[in-house]
Structure 1
Amino acid sequence: MTQEHAADELEWSLSKLIRIEAGTVGVAVTDVKAMLSLYNVTDAELISQLISMARVSRQRPWWFEHREDLPAGYATYLGLEEEATGLYFFQPIAIPGILQTNAYAQSTLQGGAATELSDDERSSRATLRRLRQERLLGGDSRPRIDAVLDEAVLRRIASDPATMRDQLNHLLRLAEDPLITLRVLPFTAGFVSTISGPFIILEFPDGADADAVYVESALMIFQIMDRTDGVPPYRKAFGHLADAALDPQASLAYIAQIAAELT
């Protein structure tokens, strides 16, 4: 039984089943009972053991203390991100959070919708970004990261030229990791995809059935698509964007060139 089949039978979202199976969230006793019934588990001793485990397994995730400051839907993304083996970013606006320097991140929290954040919310999000970076950029189990950055991302000055230069040089250092691939989509590539907003494809060890897409809008509205009919269009779009972008080596050379221009 595939994850999608099981989720359909349980009338759950696929992301809920993924998070339960991955252990990134606790599971309610009623949900355990529903799963055991669906999977035809009849051993009384095993059923009792699993239900008992469910009662004590409601562990708080690492981001729990910051939950009040998270945008709606973002906590679900963090639960999925925790178990992803591959993250594919397209960013036409700003450097992805896990690749940001502290100074660059602070500049993003000063403008746009972020101006409505309180000091506590800004502090909480800064801490959350740092913790994500530690989890996703360090350790043997870190995911593979493939990011396509529009040239506008590299040209848009964050705070001041020095801050932006440091950010670009930071990207060059990160790209020394064999699990991190950076590609630049130059202005000369023209209009490549009908999907023009930022998105992240999350890839899981279970294969294509478990893939998900995280989409965010300029109004801080987040959506996660995890059905098989929702993911392929973004897979296709990412492929077109990656093909139209400079290759990784040329991309790093271009990032270095832009950094050198920021005197």
Structure 2
Amino acid sequence: MPAGGRPTVRSRRLGTALKQYRHAAKLDQPQAAEIIAASQARVSRLESGHVTARVIEVRLLLDAYGVTDPEVRAKLEELAKHSKNRGWWLEHAAHLRPDYVDHIALEDDATYIREWQPVLFPGLTQTLAYAEALATDHPNYLAPERIAQLAKVREARQSKIEEGGTTYSTILWEPVVAQPLVRPEIHREQLAAILEIGKRKNVTVQVLPFSTGALGSVTSAFSTFSFDAEPVVEAVALENLRGTSVLEGSEDLTAYANMYDLLRSSALAPDASAKLIRGVLRSLKDDAS
């Protein structure tokens, strides 16, 4: 069973895929249960992610469903092998919300991460001072030791991008760049940091300018995740008042993939975005002098 008795991101992804392939093969759960010599209840729990399929079960089911693509089969077998693995973040799990744990697991598995942020610099790009300033101003009081714990987690999350373990793209609405939400010196440091991050080969930073009108206010912050060699969106994380919600339905994935493409095509190119950020940084330095 996944840790904590709740579906993990990996077990849920595996279960969703098995369910989709079963439907495509026009088989029902009792028939799937016969294939793996198990109960219908086990098939239901496999597909919901509440239990993780064994590799042999995945192979038998994919054979019966007519799934022959070796890359697909290898991907699902890997999910079966590693669904119970302890990620680095689980040592901090006692201090993290379950939805945040899910978000981190998505980041850790992803080959492509794309983020839209209309209010704040994304967590994967935040400096320690910026993150601490936001946490200190959080409407729900956070004790200093909890802020320190969250800072460690954020630093560990950022290491995957720093090490080139994923291709990362972010689009920032211009207010994020131009209108400081923290002390000016912290905002200047964050602007300098995003410029450096944008120089990495695996990173793209774009700014959606004021001139695009209301487009920046159409949707709240979201992140999309892909787990293969191609950037096909396979999960979406939405930030909301209660935390983070993960979407995996095909219609939701299509809608957010299309929305990101619209935002990207409307945003300034990376070079022009960097120029805008440098201009804001210069103006803030002039104001400080």
- Normalising by structure 1, what TM-score? 0.78
Q: Which has the higher contact order (CA 8 A, sep 6+)?
A: 1
Deviates more, 1:120-129 or 1:199-208: 199-208
Question: Who is 1:237 aligned against?
Answer: 259
Count residues with an aligned counterpart.
235
Q: Tell me if 1:201 matches 2:227.
A: no
Q: Structure 1 residue aligned with 2:182, among 152, 156, 159?
A: 159
Letter in 2 for 1:133: Q
Kept in 1, the 8 Å contact 2:169–2:204? The answer is: yes
Q: Which amino acid aligns with 2:87?
A: P
Q: Structure 1 residues 110, 202: CA separation in 2 closer, same or farther (over 3 Å shift)?
A: same
Counterparts in 2 of 1:246-257, with a 5 A limit? 246-257=268-279
1:85 aligns with 2:107: no
SS at 2:136 equivalent? coil
Q: Any conservation in 2 of the 1:213–1:225 contact (CA below 8 Å)? A: yes
Distance of aligned partners of 1:136 and 1:56 in 2 relative to their CA distance in 1, 3 Å threshold: closer
Instruction: Call closer, same or farther: CA 1:216–1:12 in 2, change over 3 Å.
Output: farther
Secondary structure, counterpart of 1:116 in structure 2 = coil
Equivalent residue number for residue 129 of structure 1: 154
Distance 1:13 1:148 in 2: 36
Structure 1 residue 150: Cα displacement: 0.5
Residue 116 of structure 1: how far off its partner (Å): 2.3
The Cα shift of 1:135 comes to 2.3
Note the alpha carbon deviations across 1:191-247, whole angstroms, 9 max, x for none.
126742000010121657761111111x24211112212101111111111111111
Give the distance between the partners of 1:80 and 1:15, measured in 2 at CA: 17
* Matching residue of 2:198: 175
1:211 equivalent in structure 2: 234
Conserved in 1, the CA contact under 8 Å of 2:118 and 2:216?
no
Question: CA contact under 8 A between 1:165 and 1:259: conserved in structure 2?
Answer: yes
1:51-62 map, 5 Å:
58-62=84-88
Deviations 1:12-46 (A, max 9, x none): 698959xxxxxxxxx75xx32754653469xxxxx
Percentage of identical aligned residues: 26
Contact 1:15 1:226 in 2 (8 A): no
The C-alpha deviation readout for 1:37-80, integer Å capped at 9, x for no partner, is 53469xxxxxxxxxxxx999944210112112222312122222
Report what 2:145 is aligned to: 120
Contact 2:113 2:223 in 1 (8 A): yes
Structure 2: gaps of 5 or more residues: 1-12, 23-42, 65-79
Q: Please list every run of 5 or more consecutive structure 1 residues that lacks an aligned counterpart in the other structure.
A: 18-26, 42-53
Structure 1 Cα separation of the partners of residues 82 and 264 of structure 2 = 45
Tell me how far 1:251 sits from its aligned partner: 0.4
Work out whether 1:223 is the aligned partner of 2:245. yes
- Residues 193 and 240, structure 1, Cα contact 8 Å, conserved in 2: no
Q: TM-score, normalised by structure 2?
A: 0.72
1:193/1:237 contact within 8 Å kept:
no
Contact 1:67/1:75 (<8 A) preserved: yes
Provide closer, same or farther for how the CA distance between residues 210 and 104 of structure 1 changes in structure 2, counting only shifts above 3 A.
Answer: closer
Alpha-carbon distance in 2 for matches of 1:183, 1:213: 20
| Residues 159-186 of structure 1: per-residue CA shift (max 9 Å, x gap) | 3211111110111111111211111111
Task: Give 2:132's aligned residue.
Answer: 106
